[in-house]
Amino acid sequence: MNLDSKLPSGPIEQAWDRTRFELKLVNPANKRKHSIIVVGSGLAGASAAATLGELGYRVECFCFQDSPRRAHSIAAQGGINAAKNYQNDGDSVYRLFYDTVKGGDFRAREANVYRLAQISVNIIDQCVAQGVPFAREYGGALTNRSFGGAQVSRTFYARGQTGQQLLLGAYQALERQVCAGTVTMRPRCEMLDLIVIDGRARGIVVRNLVTGAVTTHFADAVILGTGGYGNVYYLSTNAKGSNATAIWRAHKRGALFANPCYTQIHPTCIPVSGDYQSKLTLMSESLRNDGRIWVPLAKGDKRSPDLIPEAERDYYLERRYPSFGNLVPRDVASRNAKSVCDEGRGVGDSGLGVYLDFSNAIQRLGEGTIRERYGNLFDMYQRITDENPYKVPMRIYPAIHYTMGGLWVDYHLQSTIPGLFVVGEANFSDHGANRLGASALMQGLSDGYFIAPYTVGHYLASNKFDQVSGENPQARSAVEEVKQTTAKLLSIRGKRTVDSFHRELGKLVWEYCGMSRTAEGLELAAERIRALREEFWSDVTVPGSGDDLNQSLEKAGRVADFFELAELMCLDARQRNESCGGHFREEFQTPEGEAQRDDERFSYVAAWAYGGPGHSPELHREPLEFHYVHPSQRSYK
Amino acid sequence: MRLTLKIWRQKGAADKGGFVRYPVDRVDGEMSMLECLDVLNESLIEKGEEPIAFEHDCREGICGSCGFMIGGVAHGPMPATTVCQLTMRHFKDGQELVIEPWRAAAFPVIKDLIVDRRAFDRIIASGGYISVSTGNAPDGNAHPVGKEMADRAMDAAACIGCGACVAACPNASAALFTGAKIAHLNLLPQGKPEKDRRALRMVGQMNAEGFGNCTNIGECTAVCPKEIPLEVIAIMNRDYLRASVVRREELVAAIAPVSGWDVGGKS
Ligand SMILES: Cc1cc2nc3c(=O)[nH]c(=O)nc-3n(C[C@H](O)[C@H](O)[C@H](O)COP(=O)(O)OP(=O)(O)OC[C@H]3O[C@@H](n4cnc5c(N)ncnc54)[C@H](O)[C@@H]3O)c2cc1C
Ligand code: FES
């Protein structure tokens, strides 16, 4: 397969402008004649659906929650980046571009990232106009903070609830279009298959989660904004419902899946407390600005932290990375936490935790200042752990947080299936092998507000669309398959619950395809995942019926897909014989224990084609070229 | 610790429903209320029974999916805490907890603890936005917004739309929810041009959805997990009153409810 990334040629600064000029336009009078399906109403989906509605297309938008306002995007805390340079500290589009390419460990496309940095400024304007209450200075100007170790203050935020406020802005824009009659919103509906007719995406199969009814929906183009797949690990910071089903089923219909092994582990989450644990709670990264991370110097030191004298503490990040200290990027901070715990120096009952200590900062700045900066986070920590972080250091441990991999898309955000566009975390595009803080919100909104509306229009203007209906043989067979899978899941009536399988799968993936990976471990994991999947299909139990609201059935379908995706993740991680960003292969590290890239052999996007049941997937490579930012070894020493 | 959970079970909208008692052993103080239900559900599924349906997603107190009454209190006994963040250490060994869904005419029960809150979305669709299409925005710093005003708007905007306010109100009024959105947008300079229209339309829609009237009891703010202040209701009333004087002709139009939402379960 020839992967045509449609990357523009010529100077990168004008590339997006030029592309926009070359894109075909749909005559305003004809827009109403085109229909578009948008699956997902998180930041990416809601912003796309609202904007396409404003332009005059007929949009049908789906989500599995009871309302678009509940999408996982709501939980983002820290903020959103934009190259506004409002703080006059030397930021620019070029600098944001540079930081993002470097932060992604040189595994993203330069042209995409440059466009993202350019659009970042429009996003802030749009959100302010919608009434998003970003933090302000007394004089009324927007304020910023520095985030995730960036050297400039370019992060815009709304207290600790930036994702919530941005999503509500997009949701309100969407509801405005619902009221205007351009968008029909279908909540509590789960997409279970993609309908491809004559090689083009023309519709979806949906299960109504209240009535169980399986229906088909058709349009001239389909956009997926269905989020990431972090829940393959069972325990993650993602919302419980986040899943890979939409993108996985599209993959099985022919869309290539890119870089599945690139997953991000966030260093500051509340550690696991017991087997009943259902999810992990993120403590914002901003805490690392003032907190100091340490573990006892001696193995198995179980004294309470206040009894451990200064000389017997190891501030390991400050020791190993004197210039960045506690502010090293997420992948580096996470790996170091794991290695001190593996040495037996972890804290807490489980030994899987490190201290994040604010006592110095409180001494220096006073409790009042710390309360002002992090009050709501400290409250949340105390609510969950019953410990007072003003007095006792927090305990934190890394957790899965974000997935950089996703469906392969070209510069137009179109997948390898014509007419299927993918936006937000669901695509693989802009973050390479590691995402910088506050850049997922930026990417989701950039895709949805400012890119897909043009590129989808171009696709519509360039093609003719025959009438299609549920009578079409492809549509009928897709519906039939969905019904069969549902019936099969309900009929097994085995002994184990869906969650028990999901937990076991999650442990395997975390162990072997998590923070650090080896060839041997990955091969073993793939084998064990296959065996567990077989057990799932013969021993799972799903009570109830398919004709009403059945949460076990919903979960079962999602976990079935996670099994297949997990295997592909291991395969992808196995073939990438290098370490880059979040993908750390123990065999490939520098003498100091840092990730060792191999640009000569691995400077490519790995895009996998589904092979069919029982067949291996096929790897396609899209080479990456760097003309502006020259690949170098990341160093935070 | 051991608890007894007395939980409302209802197969569907048409079913009458009733309470069922479930003993739960091995409740850990560190668990959240929802994790406690997970543990119970796992044991029900293993016995081949249908688990208790409840809504949840983020489990971080921000998406507004979760929510039910515990012992007659929306989201249970802890202030500013949703049930997904409510840890079991607040209960005592041997206690019986009565768990039931939000009760309000405008929130029909779908199954067990899950209710239909789409009325909230329709209230937003009727006017809970600033009409600015993508691409129309001036520079973010073009209109200064003083910090105090931005903070007040943020206090109101923090609403998670969970519906606890309606469930706690003896009149099942949605005034806190609707007032929060009106206050958030009407306080900001960007929201000023549509201030009257917004108040008229949103209040009209709220009434059309069958929520009760606000009689200033204040139960709503007491249970609100985000502690939305009663002030927002005062702002709503003020803006509505003002608007109904200046924009009389729109009053009639405002009462026509929003359509365009899939009727989901009812179709
Ligand atoms: C705790 C946390 C904090 C974060 N903080 C930040 C931050 O500070 N800054 C930052 O930039 N990023 C942050 N991120 C990352 C960021 O929030 C996400 O990457 C981003 O919000 C994803 O948006 P999305 O629109 O792509 O997907 P989502 O918000 O996940 O939306 C997915 C949508 O798809 C729908 N859907 C999924 N599958 C189906 C299906 N089969 N059928 C129908 N509908 C379906 C869902 O209903 C939902 O509407 C954070 C993430 C987490 C977990
Ligand atoms: S599950 Fe999201 S608020 Fe409780």
pLDDT in tens, A536-576: 999 999 999 999 999 999 999 999 999 999 999 999 999 99
Q: Is A279 an 8 Å CB contact of chain B? A: yes
Q: Domain residue spans in chain B?
A: 3-110, 118-259
Q: Is A140 an 8 Å CB contact of chain B? A: yes
Buried b (16+ CB within 10 A) or exposed e, A456-471: bbbbbeeeebeebeee
Distinct helix (H) and strand (E) counts, chain A = 18, 19
Q: State the average pLDDT for chain B.
A: 93
Residue located nearest, by CA, to atom 8 of ligand 1: A78
Mean pLDDT over B9-25 rounds to 97
Q: Do A175 and B137 touch (CB under 8 A)?
A: no
Antiparallel, parallel or unpaired: β A618-623 and A604-609? antiparallel
**B246 touches B196 (CB < 8 A):** yes
Banded model confidence at residue A429, pLDDT cuts 50, 70, 90: confident
Task: List, in sequence order, every beta strand (DSSP E) within A219-287.
Answer: 221-224, 257-258, 263-269
For A457-502, the pLDDT digits (tens) are: 999 999 999 999 999 999 999 999 999 999 999 999 999 999 999 9
Q: Residues of chain A with pLDDT > 90: what percent?
A: 92
For residue A227, the CA-to-ligand 1 centroid distance in Å is 5
Banded model confidence at residue B262, pLDDT cuts 50, 70, 90: low
Own/partner long-range contacts of B240-247 (Cβ < 8 Å, ≥24 apart):
B240/B199, B240/B200, B240/B203, B242/B196, B242/B199, B243/B195, B243/B196, B243/B197, B243/B199, B243/B200, B244/B200, B246/B196, B247/B196, B247/B197, B247/B200
Instruction: Give Cα separations from B247 to B170, B233, B241 (angstroms).
Output: 31, 20, 10
Contacts of B65 in chain A (CB under 8 A): 65-66, 70
Antiparallel, parallel or unpaired: β A292-296 and A420-422? unpaired
Quote the minimal CA–CA distance from A169 to chain B in Å. 8
For residue B83, the CA-to-ligand 1 centroid distance in Å is 22
Banded model confidence at residue B267, pLDDT cuts 50, 70, 90: very low
Contacts of B157 in chain A (CB under 8 A): 131, 133, 158, 165, 168
Banded model confidence at residue B266, pLDDT cuts 50, 70, 90: very low
Distinct helix (H) and strand (E) counts, chain B = 9, 7
Quote the minimal CA–CA distance from B219 to chain A in Å. 23
Mean pLDDT over B239-251 rounds to 81
Q: Is A442 an 8 Å CB contact of chain B? A: no
Residue-level pLDDT at A32: 96
Angle, alpha carbons A6-A625-A229 (nearest 5°): 70
CA distance linking residue A527 with residue B178, whole number of Å: 54
Residue-level pLDDT at A6: 97
**A407 touches A258 (CB < 8 A):** yes
CB of B66 closer than 6 angstroms to any ligand 2 atom: yes
Q: Is A252 an 8 Å CB contact of chain B? A: no
Q: Which residue has the higher pLDDT, A314 or B247?
A: A314
Torsion of CA B186, B187, B192, B196, to 10 degrees: 30
Q: Is A545 an 8 Å CB contact of chain B? A: no
Residue-level pLDDT at B257: 55
Give the active site residue among A58, A288, A292, A330: A330
For B70-82, the pLDDT digits (tens) are: 999 999 999 999 9
Residue-level pLDDT at B263: 42
Of B46, B126, B129, nearest to A497 by CB-CB distance is: B46
Banded model confidence at residue B264, pLDDT cuts 50, 70, 90: very low
When computed from its CA atoms, the radius of gyration of chain A, rounded to whole angstroms, is: 24
Which residue in chain A is spatially nearest to B62 when comparing CA positions?
A: A75
Contacts of residue A471, defined as CB under 8 A and 6 or more positions apart, other chains included, come to none
Q: Which of B37, B38, B58 to mutate to test the pocket of ligand 2 (most atoms within 8 A of CB)?
A: B58
Q: Which residue has the higher pLDDT, B157 or A614?
A: B157
Q: Quick check: A635 pLDDT over 90?
A: no
Residue A550 included in any domain = yes
Q: Quick check: B243 pLDDT over 80?
A: yes
CA distance linking residue A415 with residue A254, whole number of Å: 9
CB of B65 closer than 6 angstroms to any ligand 2 atom: yes
The answer as to CATH 1.20.120.1200 being correct for domain B3-110 is no
Q: Quick check: A17 pLDDT over 50?
A: yes
Contacts of B59 in chain A (CB under 8 A): 239-240, 278-279, 281
Q: Is B3-110's fold the same as B118-259's?
A: no
CA distance linking residue A573 with residue A568, whole number of Å: 8
For residue A250, the CA-to-ligand 1 centroid distance in Å is 18
Residue A147 included in any domain = no
CATH of the domain at A562: 1.20.58.100
State the alpha helices, DSSP H only, in A493-595: 498-513, 519-539, 551-575
Question: Which of A208-217, A365-374, B96-105, B135-144 bottoms out in mean pLDDT, i.e. has the lowest?
Answer: A365-374
**Domain coverage including residue A298:** 265-401
Contacts of B34 in chain A (CB under 8 A): 278
Q: Is A184 an 8 Å CB contact of chain B? A: yes
Q: Which atom of ligand 1 is least distant from the CA of A64?
A: 47
CA distance linking residue B219 with residue B172, whole number of Å: 10
Phi/psi at B186 (5° precision): -75, -20
CB of A160 closer than 6 angstroms to any ligand 1 atom: no
For A64-90, the pLDDT digits (tens) are: 999 999 999 999 988 999 999 999 999
Q: Which residue has the higher pLDDT, A190 or A634?
A: A190
Is residue A477 located within the same domain as residue A617? yes
Residue A535 included in any domain = yes
Q: Could you confirm whether A395 is annotated as catalytic?
A: no
> What is the CATH code for B118-259?
1.10.1060.10
CB of A191 closer than 6 angstroms to any ligand 1 atom: yes
**Residue of A77, A126, A154, A175 for testing the chain B interface, max B β-carbons within 10 Å:** A175
Residue-level pLDDT at B249: 65
CATH of the domain at A270: 3.90.700.10
**A48 touches A445 (CB < 8 A):** no
Which residues pair with residue A222 across a beta bridge? A37, A420
Helices B147-157 and B175-187 meet at what angle, rounded to 10?
A: 150
Residue A347 included in any domain = yes
Q: Do A178 and B49 touch (CB under 8 A)?
A: no
Residue A19 included in any domain = no
Contacts of A41 in chain B (CB under 8 A): none
Is residue A597 located within the same domain as residue A500? yes
Q: Is A84 an 8 Å CB contact of chain B? A: yes
Residue A189 included in any domain = no
A100: nearest Cα among A436, A530, A518: A436
For residue A200, the CA-to-ligand 2 centroid distance in Å is 38
- Among A354, A382, A401, the domain-final residue is A401
Q: Which of B32, B66, B226 to mutate to test the pocket of ligand 2 (most atoms within 8 A of CB)?
A: B66
The edge-to-edge listing of strands for the beta sheet with A214-218 is A189-197, A200-208, A214-218
Number of domains in chain A: 2
Q: Do B144 and A176 touch (CB under 8 A)?
A: no
Contacts of B85 in chain A (CB under 8 A): 380, 383-384
Mean pLDDT over A258-263 rounds to 98
Of B62, B126, B145, nearest to A136 by CB-CB distance is: B145
CB of A163 closer than 6 angstroms to any ligand 1 atom: yes
Is residue A375 located within the same domain as residue A501? no
Residue A11 included in any domain = no
CB of B62 closer than 6 angstroms to any ligand 2 atom: yes
Token pair in block for residue B253: 């139009």
Token pair in block for residue A475: 């549509």
CA distance linking residue A274 with residue A508, whole number of Å: 18
Buried b (16+ CB within 10 A) or exposed e, A71-90: bbbbbbbbbbbbbbbbbeee
Predicted model pTM: 0.97
- Among A401, A424, A457, the domain-final residue is A401
